[in-house]
Amino acid sequence: MRRFPVAVGRPGWETPVGQFQVIELVADPIWEHPATGVHVPPGPDNPLGSRWIGFHRDCEGRRGFNGVEVLTVEGCVSSGFHGTPQRDSVGRAVSHGCVRLFDEHVRELFELVQLGTPVTVLP
């Protein structure tokens, strides 16, 4: 068993609570801005860090304040574990529903899970 400090979803963009399973594993992911579709390639500026471990997909769309503006996302959104270049965000409720970890921790977690690994998110 491992414990890691994390960042979770901000008010209005809460991390989904419940029983899930790992549905996607991606090393060096490409991040797509959920509203504009702009892509950020793998590298030090990628908001997902170096690993993505998806555990939830919701295709009802979302609308909420993201801290700067009201963001409307049509179609599917995903939640998962990922790294972050914003180390100071870990320990706070600041994401758009994902669980952010320090990049070295998400790399460790990535090696411990596989597709179908159970994920429990508590309130």
Residue 98 designated active-site: yes
Q: Which of 56, 82, 96, 105 is catalytic?
A: 82
Q: Which of 56, 59, 76, 98 is catalytic?
A: 98
Residue with tokens 């990628």: 46
* Residue 103: half-sphere exposure toward Cβ, Cα within 13 Å: 17
Residue 105 designated active-site: no
Tokens of 29: 């992911």
H-helix segments, the chain: 103-112
Write out the catalytic residue numbers.
Answer: 82, 98
